A and B are shown apart, each in its own frame.
Chain A
Amino acid sequence: MSDTAATPVVRLLNVCKGFTKGQETISIFDALNLSIPPGDFVAIMGPSGSGKTTMLNLLGGLDRVDAGEIDVAGKRIDRLSEGELARWRSTHIGFVFQFYNLMPMLSAAQNVELPLLLTALRRAERRTRVEAALKIVNLADRTKHYPREMSGGQQQRVAIARAIVSDPTLLLCDEPTGDLDRTTADEILHMLQILNRDLNKTIIMVTHDPAAAKYAARTLHLDKGHFVEKDLAA
């Protein structure tokens, strides 16, 4: 992909990744390159099995490359140990999943507070941050509600609050609206747009939905292990 003038927040250089299935090795990426500048909002689309989720896993340090370099916010994460990766994730990456993945036994506020347990912040400061994050996603009045007491859209908003509460460099969203109806999906996507525009969060969103991809600043199509940029608005 073409680089922009600013120092990229995400840089993939000749990344190779494959999976072994029985005796057979299936290559997902072979010398994949990518560069995303700070403050970008990128949608990644592509057919099933094209490697969208695998790429998100690699960017979030959830999986390892076979070869190549991954640089996120100036850090070579392919060189970090498991423990270092976990600590790095807690401060640099916010994840939003398709199925929200909230802890059912914790309230909305407690779910949002989870990443802050890994910081040295005092209780009062944690509470302030949790309240701020829930306010951003318009759930300030739902702090004590449990996931089972909330709709899918509300749960996803709690998940977004959890993702942004530690002020990460990068938000990785894996089909964030895949489990929601159109109206709720639009609300969530609009919220991501606000986070990108007003809080300058860099967002990479994997989606199958062209309507969802329209909310992003640009869309990358992943096919056969390589990116193809298309302007959907054109």
Chain B
Amino acid sequence: MNDLLLVRKNLFRKKLRAGLMIASILIAFAIFGVLAAFERAFNAGEDVAAADRLVVVNKINFTQPLPMAYFNRVRGIDGVRQVTHLNWFGGYFQDPKNFLLVFAVEPETYTELYGDDFDFPADARRAFIGERTAALVGEAMAAKWGWKVGDHVPISSNIFSQKDGSRTWDFTIAGIFKSRGAQANTNFMVFQYEYFNETRSFLKDMIGWMALQTTSPLVNDKVAKAIDQMFANSSAETSTDTEKAFNKAFAAQLGNIALIVLLVVGAAFLTILMIVGNTMVMAVRERTREIAVLKTLGFTGGHLLRLVLGESVLLALLGGLPGLALAFLVTLLVRDQLANFVPGIALTPGIVLLGLVLMLGLGFATGSVPALNAFRLKIAVALGRG
């Protein structure tokens, strides 16, 4: 026998009570894990955002287009190293349910600007720039649909149509690109803006937004002001911000995910803290006489404090670890289904670590009061002999 066995025996002396407490902690940590994974995925864009990249969108709303002419004018601004433009396509494959992230881009500048984030193979890049119907597909998207280089894929749009009324564009996969870092999502594809602009039936010579790289993050503010001033009082005023701020604002459209996580997890934790804490206090109070006997046998107050805290920490771990495991399974299950809307949902090591810290915190918070009571217990009084 050892202290751990003593802790375990004490914890499971009332199996139903221990089981219910473990179940409630398990649910709380499962909620925490799933929500934290969502929050992480929503904010992943902020993490991959480069410090020297700015995004220029229509001041009214980023869904409103900008004139194509802005592209060349921005290029000439002092402090701009490279600029590209992108257009939302609203794509799907075969069935509208198979939503795809597809962008019409300026191929040369796009692959140059995002060359640090994605590994565009040189021959694929050449083919992409040279062939009108060429498309580059991210590794995750290619894997999902089983596409390979040279495949001809028909991609439809739920926004745009061609001049002949067709909503489907045919592309040839010129290459498959990988992410250079773990954070960047590759579940998307890009194709030539020129092909798109020539064939679409409306919004000709308009672009969605521009992304640009400055010569240094130090000139970001200056460049952003220069761009917005350049197009002030025009029919399409611009709003220029850092890529990080843009990504954050994009994620915020779906609500303040961090706040939702904090409120839901906070409420769940507070409730469980009260339930488990109260139950622990009652459980230890029921054992007042036994604790006094242990003290009589020579167990010190500190030893008993550790035993009771060990019990509450073990309880938190027995509920928390399976809870995180359940969250991991849930994120695995929904990962593919939600890949187009919230790419990169995953229970990251950071979330697991935070979970472990929370488990220990929960254990110490719920165990501290009964542990202190055990520590302070007067033997003679507890044995009813005083």
Contact = CB atoms under 8 A, between A and B. Distances in A.
Contact of A57 (B1, B302, B385): B385
A32 interface: no
Given A60-B296, A63-B380, A83 B302 contact: yes
Nearest to B301: A82
A90 B298 contact: yes
B297 A95 contact: yes
Given A87-B300, A117-B2, A105 B13 contact: yes
Contacts of B300: 82-83, 86-87
A162 B298 CA distance: 12
A95 B293 CA distance: 9
Contacts of A95: 296-297
B295 A117 contact: no
A13 B283 CA distance: 41
B289 A101 contact: yes
B296 A114 contact: no
A83 B298 contact: no
Contact of A118 (B13, B289, B293, B298): B298
Given A53-B385, A57-B380, A57-B385, A89 B297 contact: yes
Give the interface size class of chain B. Answer: 20 to 34
Contacts of B303: 118
Interface string B287-322: 001100111111111110000000000000000000
B225 interface: no
Nearest to B14: A105
A62 B379 contact: yes
B298 A62 contact: no
B198 interface: no
A124 to B, nearest CB: 13
A40 interface: no
Interface in B1-39: 1-3, 5-6, 9-10, 12-13
Contacts, number: 74
A63 B13 contact: no
A105 B296 contact: no
Nearest to B289: A101
A91 B298 CA distance: 8
Chain A at the B interface: SS class:
helix
A173 to B, nearest CB: 13
A217 B63 CA distance: 100
Interface string A35-70: 000000000000000000110010010110000000
Contacts of B386: 19, 57, 63
Chain B at the A interface: SS class:
helix
A90 B13 contact: no
A90 B379 contact: no
Given A57-B385, A63-B380, A103 B290 contact: yes
A141 to B, nearest CB: 20
A106 B298 contact: no
B299 A118 contact: yes
B297 A114 contact: yes
Kindly name the residue among B9, B297, B303 whose own CB sees the greatest number of chain A CB atoms within 10 A: B297
A104 interface: yes
Given A57-B380, A63-B386, A113-B1, A83 B301 contact: yes
A144 to B, nearest CB: 13
Nearest to A63: B380
Contact of A117 (B1, B293, B380): B1
A101 B379 contact: no
B9 A86 contact: no
Contacts of B9: 103, 105-106, 110
Contact of B293 (A54, A90, A101, A105): A101
A86 B295 contact: yes
A62 B383 CA distance: 10
Nearest to A89: B298
A97 B379 CA distance: 13
A87 B379 CA distance: 15
Kindly name the residue among A19, A87, A114, A126 whose own CB sees the greatest number of chain B CB atoms within 10 A: A114
Nearest to A113: B1
Nearest to B2: A117
A115 interface: yes
B298 A87 contact: yes
B297 A90 contact: yes
A21 to B, nearest CB: 11
Given A87-B300, A103-B290, A62 B1 contact: no
Nearest to A114: B297
Nearest to B294: A114
Interface of B: 1-3, 5-6, 9-10, 12-13, 289-290, 293-303, 379-380, 383, 385-386
30 contacts: A19-B386, A53-B385, A57-B379, A57-B380, A57-B386, A60-B296, A62-B296, A62-B385, A63-B380, A83-B300, A83-B301, A86-B295, A86-B298, A86-B299, A87-B298, A90-B299, A97-B383, A101-B289, A101-B290, A103-B290, A103-B293, A104-B13, A105-B10, A105-B13, A106-B1, A106-B6, A110-B1, A117-B1, A118-B299, A126-B1
Report the 4 A-B pairs with minimum CB-CB distance, sorted nearest first: A90-B298, A86-B300, A105-B9, A105-B13
Interface of A: 19, 53-54, 57, 60, 62-63, 82-83, 86-91, 95, 97, 101, 103-106, 110, 113-115, 117-118, 126, 162, 174
Given A87-B298, A118-B297, A118-B298, 18 more contacts: A57-B379, A60-B296, A62-B380, A62-B383, A63-B386, A82-B301, A86-B300, A87-B300, A90-B297, A95-B296, A101-B289, A101-B293, A103-B290, A114-B297, A115-B297, A117-B3, A118-B303, A126-B1
